[in-house]
């Protein structure tokens, strides 16, 4: 997320906003009126409670521009304000002050100001700040009533009010909005509430204002991401909407992955309140926690640095992952080697994956529990992916990724039609059996019945009892594999260990890397974990297939000689 490109302290009173109608002008009087009102308020909490609300430079710039730019008719140019900034920078108190300005100073008869958020409790945060500011101002208290029991501030002289909405409002219509304070837009589960409060609700008002504040989120199919993208395009000059005021404090979208999140200078760049209301020491403490606990890294990036992340808690340390993929791909070196498979079919109109794991004995070590010397293995990995040709473009848009490029590069096979042709997968498995020494293949029971029947016709052993009887005859065994904690926990944990120790070589397959970066795990009370497709915002099918294949390989390590040929491969 790029900063506002012309970000500066103080307003450029001569630079007309792009696309503004002829005659638009900057009113110093209007800007100062808003600034002076807000700075007459008093802070509501913390060490600043009771002290004048002196706007920080970045806050003042927003207030001056939003309230200072007027259309030829004298009403505000901007009707939507989108502010995306890390937590604790003071956006909630700024929003509370804006709500009060709309309530007391816009001279709008019967003004209706609404506070909205994920739920009523979240919306109360901004309201409580505003109510406390009013209570600390004798002048404002004379003009209104604060009804805390129903979270409402009423101004009888103008029949205006500011109120918190209940969670049921998403099903209602008919609002006559003068102002909306939308807090933490990224937490909205869908766009229903946003649409109810913003679509045509201010048509009867002269200068309605929708004030949207948020930190970065995780869902790129959300209303917040939609507004974020609009804001980013306006900031970058690729879109014109003179009524939409956009400010984003964070790294540019196209630089987020390579942006140095450990650099304190970058922390300061995206947290304009550091040194004023944010203690840099607390940011450093949060950073140390993120460095020591991989689960906390994405939380730090999202909330402290305003980076849109792919899940709330990243599981895979991608720096370690990338170190495991530098071996050149050499398919010939895998010919004849023992391997184990994992097949995740997902749904027939989505991404399907086959993971093949090739054990490679690398040495011996003493088991700390049994004190016995055991073999140590590394694992080479080969991947196959499939998508339906007719839905590839739609999948690419939904998943925010480039399936077409991966298809052309050979990392994904596109099968004709709008569902995956399992004949392609069947053919790949037959070829796998002929080229490699495939011993077992695990599969998710869901959706695989038809394919398993076809594999049985091809000579694969599909009777679960064959797992016990088979001593690695020429026929591979097809093994049903549960997706719960009991089956998934051990190989999932082992995969992390192997990655951290550099004992997986995946050849840098970009589709698998994307899946790894999307990986979310669910943890139960006993500390068991498993991949969580429901919480992953994008595909993790390749990782599920890899984990199933790894499970079969680990269970059979040492039962047969394996080649010492180096190199992990993924195609």
Convert the pLDDT of each residue in 414-432 to its tens digit.
Answer: 988 888 888 899 999 999 9
The last residue of a domain, from among 254, 279, 304 = 254
The residue assigned the tokens 């909490």 is 45
Confirm if 383 and 542 have CB atoms less than 8 A apart.
Answer: yes
pTM over cut 0.75: no
Tokens at 143, concatenated? 């003009």
Whether residues 335 and 466 fall in one domain: yes
> How many other β-carbons are positioned within 10 Å of the β-carbon of residue 7?
15
For the chain, how many structural domains are there in total?
2
Burial class (CB in 10 A: 0-12, 13-18, 19+), 325: buried
Which CATH number does the domain housing residue 30 bear?
Answer: 3.40.50.300
> How many other β-carbons are positioned within 10 Å of the β-carbon of residue 99?
25
Residue 349 located in a structural domain = yes
Which CATH number does the domain housing residue 344 bear?
Answer: 3.30.420.240
Residue 391 located in a structural domain = yes
Distance CA 368, CA 371 (A): 5
- Whole-number CA gyration radius for the chain: 29
From first to last of its 571 residues, what are the pLDDT tens digits of the chain?
333 333 333 344 558 999 999 999 999 999 999 999 999 999 877 777 888 999 999 999 999 999 999 999 999 999 999 999 999 999 999 999 999 999 999 989 999 999 999 888 888 999 999 999 999 999 999 999 999 999 999 999 999 999 998 766 655 667 889 999 999 999 898 888 998 898 877 777 889 999 999 999 888 778 999 999 999 999 988 899 999 999 999 987 667 667 899 999 999 999 999 999 999 999 999 999 888 776 678 889 999 999 988 665 668 888 889 999 877 678 899 999 999 999 998 666 788 999 999 999 888 777 666 667 777 899 999 999 999 988 788 777 777 677 888 999 999 999 888 888 888 999 999 999 889 999 999 998 777 888 888 898 888 888 756 555 555 556 888 999 998 999 999 999 999 999 999 999 999 999 999 999 888 888 776 778 899 888 777 899 999 999 999 999 999 886 654 444 433 334 3
Whether residues 526 and 383 fall in one domain: yes
Whether residues 250 and 328 fall in one domain: no
Residue 11 located in a structural domain = no
Whether residues 47 and 170 fall in one domain: yes
Whether residues 237 and 382 fall in one domain: no
Q: Which domain holds residue 476?
A: 324-556
Residue 531 located in a structural domain = yes
Residue 517 located in a structural domain = yes
Distance CA 114, CA 105 (A): 16
Distance CA 108, CA 89 (A): 30
User: What is the DSSP-derived secondary structure letter of residue 165?
Assistant: P
Q: Which helix (H) or strand (E) holds 314?
A: none
Residue 487 located in a structural domain = yes
Distance CA 260, CA 449 (A): 47
DSSP string, 441-504: EEEESTT-HHHHHHHHHTT-B--TTHHHH-SS-SSPEEEEE--SHHHHHHHHHHHHHHHHHT-E
Beta strands in 333-423 (DSSP E): 338-344, 352-366, 373-388, 413-415
The last residue of a domain, from among 254, 270, 291 = 254
Tokens at 61, concatenated? 């710039």
Whether residues 337 and 234 fall in one domain: no
Residue 357 located in a structural domain = yes
> How many other β-carbons are positioned within 10 Å of the β-carbon of residue 363?
8
Whether residues 356 and 247 fall in one domain: no
Distance CA 387, CA 412 (A): 7
Residue 294 located in a structural domain = no
Burial class (CB in 10 A: 0-12, 13-18, 19+), 571: middle
The last residue of a domain, from among 222, 254, 286 = 254
Tokens at 325, concatenated? 């993929």
Q: What is the pLDDT of residues 288-342, one digit of tens each?
A: 988 877 667 888 999 999 998 866 566 888 888 999 987 767 889 999 999 999 9
Coil, strand, or helix at residue 306? coil
DSSP string, 195-261: HHHHSSTTTTSSS-EEEEEE---S-TTSHHHHHHHHHHHHHTTS---TTEEEEE-S--GGGTTTS-T
């Amino acid at each position: 997320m790029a900063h506002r490109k012309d970000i500066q302290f103080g307003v450029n009173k001569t630079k007309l906003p792009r696309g503004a109608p002829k005659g638009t002008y900057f009113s110093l009087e209007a800007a100062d009126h808003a600034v002076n009102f807000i700075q007459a308020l008093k802070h509501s909490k913390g060490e600043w409670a009771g002290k004048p609300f002196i706007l920080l430079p970045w806050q003042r710039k927003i207030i001056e521009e939003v309230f200072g730019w007027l259309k030829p008719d004298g009403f505000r140019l901007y009707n939507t304000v989108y502010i995306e900034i890390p937590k604790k920078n003071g956006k909630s108190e700024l929003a509370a002050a804006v709500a009060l300005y709309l309530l007391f100073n816009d001279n709008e008869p019967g003004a209706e100001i609404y506070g909205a958020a994920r739920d009523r409790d979240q919306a109360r945060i901004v309201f409580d700040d505003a109510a406390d500011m009013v209570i600390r101002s004798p002048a404002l208290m004379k003009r209104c009533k604060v009804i805390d029991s129903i979270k409402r501030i009423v101004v009888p002289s103008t029949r205006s009010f500011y109120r918190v909405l209940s969670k049921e409002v998403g099903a209602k219509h008919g609002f006559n909005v003068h102002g909306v304070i939308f807090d933490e837009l990224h937490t909205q589960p869908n766009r229903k509430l946003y649409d109810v409060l913003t679509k045509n609700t201010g048509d009867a008002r002269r200068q309605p204002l929708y004030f949207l504040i948020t930190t970065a989120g995780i869902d790129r199919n959300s209303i917040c991401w939609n507004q974020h993208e609009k804001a980013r395009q306006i900031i970058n000059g690729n879109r014109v909407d003179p009524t939409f005021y956009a400010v984003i404090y964070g790294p540019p979208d196209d630089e987020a992955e390579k942006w140095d999140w450990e650099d304190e200078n970058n922390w300061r760049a995206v947290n304009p309140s550091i040194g004023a209301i944010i203690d840099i020491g607390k940011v450093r403490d949060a950073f140390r926690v993120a460095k020591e606990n991989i689960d906390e890294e994405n939380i730090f990036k999202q909330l402290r640095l305003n980076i849109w992340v792919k899940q709330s808690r990243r599981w895979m340390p991608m720096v370690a992952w990338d170190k495991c993929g530098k071996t050149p791909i050499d398919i010939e070196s895998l010919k004849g080697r023992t391997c184990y498979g994992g097949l995740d079919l997902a749904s027939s109109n989505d991404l399907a994956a086959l993971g093949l794991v090739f054990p490679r004995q690398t040495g011996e070590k003493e088991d700390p529990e049994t004190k016995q010397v055991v073999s140590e293995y590394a694992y080479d990995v080969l991947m196959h992916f499939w998508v339906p040709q007719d839905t590839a473009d739609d999948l690419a848009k939904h998943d925010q990724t480039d399936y077409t490029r991966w298809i052309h590069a050979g990392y994904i096979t596109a099968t004709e039609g709008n569902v995956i042709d399992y004949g392609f997968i069947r053919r790949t498995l037959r070829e796998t059996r002929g080229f490699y020494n495939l011993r077992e293949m695990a599969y998710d029971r869901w959706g695989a019945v038809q394919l398993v029947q076809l594999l049985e016709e091809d000579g694969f052993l599909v009777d679960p009892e064959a797992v016990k009887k088979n001593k690695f005859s020429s026929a591979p065994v097809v093994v049903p594999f549960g997706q719960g904690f009991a089956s998934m926990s051990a190989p999932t944990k082992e995969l992390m260990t192997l990655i951290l120790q550099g004992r997986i070589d995946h050849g840098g397959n970009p589709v698998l890397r994307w899946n790894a970066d999307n990986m979310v795990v669910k943890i139960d009370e006993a500390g068991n974990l498993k991949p969580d497709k429901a919480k992953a915002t994008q595909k993790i099918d390749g990782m599920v297939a890899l984990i199933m294949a790894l499970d079969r390989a680990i269970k059979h390590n040492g039962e047969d000689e394996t080649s010492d040929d180096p190199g992990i491969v993924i195609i």
